[in-house]
């Protein structure tokens, strides 16, 4: 069986491709730049190019789709083109190529409405309630993908929650950069209970979904470490691993949410392509509980996370201590 992994130049996509290869599965990757995964066959291209998608899917048996436009801000049309229409084009190409199984990698944000989530399961995607263009378009894409599942073309969705680990240029790098610059407060004293997912665990769950797709086709499953912790404690752990002083000041969550809305509006007017320092969605994520019941996920996938939060933080600290290339932590 040959598996196409899209978005393998990213942290999670690369981990998925590497895990499949370690299991003896041939892997082809598809993204705009080389994946850097030893042993993978790279096919470069964009989700917006049907011809490139045709080349990427030719001769493969299954697809794990991670490629997406991920950002707190940006042109809504770009999110639509990549996340929705790109997924639609990939599904068409995969079906035309005779692919039998697809795992769509989604996000719990597709069902989030800005309120706390404590011990819930995977609610249906609700793009109409989505907090931002990323969540909205990923929700539309998930509905599109699951709606295409049928005998002979099985599709499942996996929603890893807040993935992090060594080499992470999203959560880890942003936390360390902002903490070092003194621009990272905790909200409401950092007490909101939040679950996260170490990258190796997320990759293993996604691969398990492919291997057990007969049990999960047509469904969406949230994946986490199953170890909810106060968000302030998690941020402090990441800062300690990176050798950065943790945040020492707190802002009321309600104030941050209002400020985030104002910043978003100003950012759109400015036309800036940089990430804003705060958005309403980010403020909600930092000030509300979001952790999920993992019992059904683990039963259906026959999977349990192997790397605990504490072990993950130890690996992150070792990564920063090790010589050689690491993620660049900027201070401006």
Distance CA 245, CA 332 (A): 16
Tell me the C-alpha to C-alpha distance, in Å, between residue 139 and each of 58, 129, 135, 202: 27, 10, 6, 19
E strands of the chain, at which residues? 3-6, 27-31, 41-44, 62-65, 101-105, 117-120, 154-160, 163-164, 186-187, 193-194, 197-198, 220-223, 229-230, 250-251, 290-292
Phi, psi of 119 (to 5 degrees): 75, 20
CA atoms in the 13 A half-sphere facing the CB of 196: 27
Tell me the C-alpha to C-alpha distance, in Å, between residue 270 and each of 78, 128, 219, 283: 17, 26, 40, 21
What 3-state DSSP class applies to 103?
strand
Phi, psi of 106 (to 5 degrees): -110, -150
Query: Annotated active-site positions, please?
Result: 134
Identify which of 155, 135, 289 has the alpha carbon closest to the alpha carbon of residue 209. Answer: 155
For residue 164, the cross-strand partners are 198
Distance CA 205, CA 103 (A): 11
Distance CA 261, CA 123 (A): 25
């Amino acid at each position: 069986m040959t598996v196409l992994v899209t978005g393998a130049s990213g942290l999670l996509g690369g981990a998925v491709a590497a895990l499949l290869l370690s299991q003896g599965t041939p892997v082809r990757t598809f993204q705009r730049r080389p994946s850097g995964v030893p042993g993978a066959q790279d096919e470069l291209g964009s989700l917006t190019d049907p011809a490139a998608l045709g080349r990427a899917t030719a001769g493969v048996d299954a697809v794990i789709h991670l490629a997406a436009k991920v950002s707190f801000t940006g042109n809504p049309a770009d999110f639509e083109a990549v996340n929705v229409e790109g997924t639609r084009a990939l599904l068409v190409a995969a079906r035309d190529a005779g692919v039998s199984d697809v795992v769509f990698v989604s996000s719990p944000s597709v069902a989030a409405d800005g309120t706390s989530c404590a011990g819930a399961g995977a609610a249906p995607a609700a793009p109409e309630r989505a907090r931002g263009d990323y969540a909205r378009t990923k929700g539309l894409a998930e509905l599109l993908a699951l709606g295409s599942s049928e005998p002979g073309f099985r599709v499942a969705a996996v929603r890893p929650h807040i993935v992090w680990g060594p080499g992470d240029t999203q959560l880890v790098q942003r936390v360390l950069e902002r903490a070092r610059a003194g621009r990272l407060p905790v909200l409401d004293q950092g007490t909101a209970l939040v679950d996260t997912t170490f990258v190796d665990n997320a990759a293993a769950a996604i691969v398990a979904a492919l291997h057990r797709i007969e049990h999960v086709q047509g469904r969406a499953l949230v994946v986490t470490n199953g170890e909810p912790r106060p968000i302030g404690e998690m941020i402090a752990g990441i800062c300690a691993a990176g050798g950065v002083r943790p945040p020492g000041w707190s802002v009321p969550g309600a104030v941050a949410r209002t400020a985030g809305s104002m910043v978003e509006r100003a950012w759109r007017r400015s036309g800036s392509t940089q990430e804003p320092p705060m958005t309403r969605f980010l403020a909600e994520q930092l000030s509300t509980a979001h952790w999920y019941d993992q019992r059904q996920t683990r039963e259906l996938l026959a999977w349990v996370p192997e790397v605990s939060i504490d072990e993950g933080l130890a690996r992150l600290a070792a990564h920063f201590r090790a010589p050689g290339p690491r993620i660049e932590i900027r201070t401006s």
